[in-house]
Amino acid sequence: MSTSTIDLHDSHGPHGHGHADDPHHQHHFTNMQQQFDTSKIGMWLFLATEVLLFGGLFVGFGLMQNRYPQEFIEAHEHLQRPLGALNTVVLLISSFTMVMAVLSAKHSDKKKVVMYLILTILCACIFLGVKYFEYSHKFEEHLLPPRWYHAQPGDTVRDVAGNVSHGYGTFFAFYFMMTGLHGIHILVGIILLSWITVRAHRGEFSKAYYTPVDLIGLYWHLVDLIWIYLFPLYYLIK
Amino acid sequence: MEHTLTSRAPVADLPRPEKNYLNATTGIWSWMTTVDHKRIGVMYLVGVLSAFFIGGVFALLVRLSLLSPTHTLFGKQWITAEMYNRLFTLHGAVMVFLFIIPSVPASLANFVLPLMLGAKDVAFPRLNLASFYLWVIGAVMAVTSMITGAVDTGWTFYTPYSTTTEGSVTLMIMAVFVLGFSSIFTGINFVATTHKLRAPGMGWFDLPLFIWGIYATAIIQVLATPVLGITLALLAMERVFNIGIFDPKIGGDPVLFQHFFWFYSHPAVYIMILPGMAIISELIPTFSKKTMFGYRAVAYSSVSLALLSFIVWGHHMFVAGQSQLATVVFSALTFLVAIPSGVKMFNWLGTMYKGNISLETPMCYAISFLLLFAIGGLTGIFLGALSVDIHLTDTYFVVAHFHYVMMGGTVIAFFGGVHYWWPKITGRMYNENWGRFACALIFIGFNVTFLTQFVMGSLGMPRRYFNYLPIYHPYHVVSTIGSWIIGLGFATMAAYLLASLRKPMDAPDNPWGGTTLEWTTSSPPTEHNFEDQPVLQKAPYDYRPEPVAK
């Protein structure tokens, strides 16, 4: 025999695998700490997939910037830098309120958890609102992918017939793909945050169990972090 | 001095429990909503085998349409060039995305991995079920795209053809996107499970090598699949809105698509082969009754294959307009893959050396794997060499090479694993003689089909072509006949496996004398896998006889 067995039945009450101590305890984990650590590994792995999802787009952007350097510099002047900066500040604040929500959950402070989560959702909504104004400006000015891009006064790279280079439109193809995908993540974040706000309001979280707040906090920080890379890439770097 | 080896006859079984995972709860609903990794594994097994059947029928049709250069059957042309394009696309897409990628991890590993670790379930049981349903949704979308229109792009979806052709390519792309998420969920689950749910006393180097292989696979699933996701998203945007990133007419770059695609799809090759190798690493010591030779080397070689898989994608594009520097670098890196593969190969052989080898059906598959994978791996080195590859690119030589790796490797290992764990999964033994016979048919049929294609390819027969010159005709005839032998082999297998299900449960707990934890529980296992938490006391593959008490 290569194995022996430990009888768990004695230490865990009448049900063998029942864990009457905490309703959130799933039967295949030995204890709550193991369950929490495992969930956290799962979340970090998921975040790794998110980084690679955006990573492909970052690489594509880099390649096209290399191909159309002048067009990309001129195209980035068409973006509204103050609005981008405003959104950066809004997301940084939301990261702070998210940290505070997790901290309050750890302290079993239900009122504060709800308050900070609502503030985080508010920031997320402001971000999307600002993004709406930015997008509609792009559509009005036809700052769009190559097929629909209209030449702007400052665009200097043209062929002999005066047609503007496709590089400008390519810049905006990536702009819409990357900020769009990021926007979808913000939207998903709002849904997740609302879900845990309701649960927090019901008093489900305490220092004994706050895994969802912690994990969605991690997700939210990643979404913020991606914007922290997107903002200089599109609005600042020449 | 020779060790006296314990006989294969099982040590006295525990009394078979009345309730096992199959009958603990009943009704279709209890299966649809189950979070038991064993049931999800079984549902996946049924799913991937159905996909294998569909993909196999397409393969037989592809071979049949190449039987005569005029594509006639009984004097009538029965297939058009367009239909032929659809057939090989569907064969490729179904086999790759619906069958081979989920085959071992989602079905067999889903069933076995927690058992081998001594765990009650995978880390995230609900995520596991979600993964299965995503697979089902992806499969339904893929089948719908076959019925409602057709996809004729090949499974690689190369631009600009894939962005301009008619048919329901967009739906197929979305299907593959959804299947990607299913694969990611499986990967996340296995990594977390291996890290956190090992039995007390089980360190990393006490893991069965199957787990090492599946762990390495899961890492690739997590890190590579998102890149496929974003590539397919860009392709869908290209088709729907024409955003121009891959469209050379409006400033895009079709080669960029190939880079993105192979950045996933080369690692995906290792998502396919690593689990196959993982199964072989179980079969060989069990049926040689000998400790795994070079355990750590095999464990590390799985991980190093996973890492190498990420830096060799350029070898798919040697003639696609890469810079010469990139081509040379990718070629050199590709040669490195031979090292960990060779490490595995020689350690398997070292394990068999002076072992007490018995040729039960799973071992027949393992030995077939060694022979076929050796050919598949070595011809990979031909193709990694630049000057040779220029001649062989896009010929049947490439087709034969990857079939030797994917079918001769993964599929053979998968069915070896199915036969190995069949008693554990179903509680029933199949007929050994029929099992060996079917394995022999498949082995012979496979070589008849694909050795011929090596010759044909080196003579210049291009892949994916509908029409061919008369000099290739004899080879196509032989290859098609081979495909019928393979088909007969699989039909035989289906027959005796299904027949075994009609018998009462007769499988002992440990029919093969395996040393890993899944053999210490009943066949089939109870709902929570083990009666009591198992604790590991001995390393895996320890076949030394128990010291006799004096």
Find the CATH number of the domain harbouring A215: 1.20.120.80
Residue B298 CA to residue B294 CA, distance in Å, equals 6
pLDDT at B549: 57
Residue B382 CA to residue B392 CA, distance in Å, equals 9
pLDDT at B149: 77
Cα dist from B286 to B249, B359, B443, B516, B519, whole Å:
59, 11, 22, 9, 12
Task: Confirm whether A8 is domain-assigned.
Answer: no
Q: Is the pLDDT of residue A105 over 60?
A: yes
Q: What is the mean pLDDT of residues B498-502?
A: 95
Residue B177 CA to residue B245 CA, distance in Å, equals 19
Provide the percentage of residues in chain B whose pLDDT is more than 90.
81
CB–CB of B152/A10 below 8 Å?
A: no
pLDDT at B4: 38
Structure tokens at B248: 């050379």
pLDDT at B134: 97
Torsion of CA B104, B428, B351, B107, to 10 degrees: 10
A52 touches chain B (CB under 8 A): yes
Structure tokens at B389: 């590859």
CB–CB of B371/B404 below 8 Å?
A: no
Task: Confirm whether A204 is domain-assigned.
Answer: yes
Question: What are A181-224's pLDDT values in tens digits?
Answer: 999 999 999 999 999 999 999 999 999 999 999 999 999 999 99
**Rama region for B360: left / alpha / beta (φ>0; ψ in -120 to 50; rest):** beta
pLDDT at A201: 96
pLDDT at B508: 92
pLDDT at A5: 44
CB–CB of B534/A3 below 8 Å?
A: yes
Q: Is the pLDDT of residue A4 over 80?
A: no
Structure tokens at B165: 């052709």
Q: What is the mean pLDDT of residues B504-514?
A: 91
Cα dist from B440 to A32, A218, B406, whole Å:
51, 53, 18
Residues of the domain holding A105: 32-236
Residue B189 CA to residue B210 CA, distance in Å, equals 16
Q: What is the mean pLDDT of residues A138-153?
A: 92
From the list B124, B234, B242, which residue is nearest A177 (CB)?
Answer: B234
Task: Confirm whether A168 is domain-assigned.
Answer: yes
Q: Is the pLDDT of residue B364 over 80?
A: yes
Listed in sequence order, the residues at least 6 apart from B524 whose beta carbon sits closer than 8 Å to its beta carbon are B20, B21, B22, B38, B424, B425, B426, B427, B505
Residue A104 CA to residue A217 CA, distance in Å, equals 12
Q: How confident is the model at residue B442 (pLDDT cuts 50, 70, 90)?
A: very high
Q: Do A3 and B535 touch (CB under 8 A)?
A: yes
The full length of chain A comes to: 238
Task: Confirm whether A12 is domain-assigned.
Answer: no
Q: Do A45 and B192 touch (CB under 8 A)?
A: yes
Q: What one-letter code names the amino acid at B361?
A: T
Residues from chain B that touch A31, judged by Cβ atoms under 8 A, are none
Task: Confirm whether A2 is domain-assigned.
Answer: no
* Runs of H (alpha helix) within B118-208: 125-148, 161-164, 169-196
From the list A6, A17, A38, which residue is nearest B535 (CB)?
Answer: A6
- Structural domains counted in chain A: 1
Q: How confident is the model at residue B13 (pLDDT cuts 50, 70, 90)?
A: low
Q: Do B222 and A45 touch (CB under 8 A)?
A: yes
Q: How confident is the model at residue B9 (pLDDT cuts 50, 70, 90)?
A: very low
Residue A237 CA to residue A119 CA, distance in Å, equals 31
Task: Confirm whether A91 is domain-assigned.
Answer: yes
Least confident of A6-10, B63-67, B372-376, B485-489: A6-10
A219 touches chain B (CB under 8 A): no
Q: Do A177 and B191 touch (CB under 8 A)?
A: no
Give me the DSSP letters along B439-508. HHHHHHHHHHHHHHHHHHHHTT-BTT-S---GGGHHHHHHHHHHHHHHHHHHHHHHHHHHHHHTSPP---
pLDDT at A6: 43
Helix (H) or strand (E) holding B206: none
Search chain A and give the residue with CA nearest B12: A1
Asked whether the bond before B69 is cis by omega within 30 degrees of 0, the reply is: no
Give me the DSSP letters along A114-170. HHHHHHHHHHHHHHHHHHHHHHHHHHHTT--SGGG----TT---B-TT-PBPHHHHH
Q: Do B225 and A166 touch (CB under 8 A)?
A: no
Task: Confirm whether A3 is domain-assigned.
Answer: no
Least confident of A8-12, A55-59, B82-86: A8-12
Q: Is the pLDDT of residue A15 over 70?
A: no
Domains and CATH numbers, chain B: 41-520 (1.20.210.10)
Task: Confirm whether A218 is domain-assigned.
Answer: yes
Q: Is the pLDDT of residue B14 over 70?
A: no
Provide the percentage of residues in chain B whose pLDDT is more than 70.
97
Q: Is the pLDDT of residue B37 over 90?
A: yes
Q: Do A45 and B537 touch (CB under 8 A)?
A: no
Q: What is the mean pLDDT of residues A152-172?
A: 90
From the list A6, A55, A68, which residue is nearest B532 (CB)?
Answer: A6
**What distance in Å separates residue B23's CA from the closest CA in chain A?**
19
Q: Is the pLDDT of residue B454 over 70?
A: yes
Search chain B and give the residue with CA nearest A50: B226
Least confident of A97-106, A149-158, B400-409, B465-474: A149-158
Question: What are B277-335's pLDDT values in tens digits?
Answer: 999 999 999 999 999 999 999 999 999 999 999 999 999 999 888 889 999 999 999 99
Q: What one-letter code names the amino acid at A68?
A: Y
Residue B215 CA to residue A136 CA, distance in Å, equals 47
pLDDT at A159: 87
pLDDT at A21: 66
Q: Is the pLDDT of residue B507 over 70?
A: yes
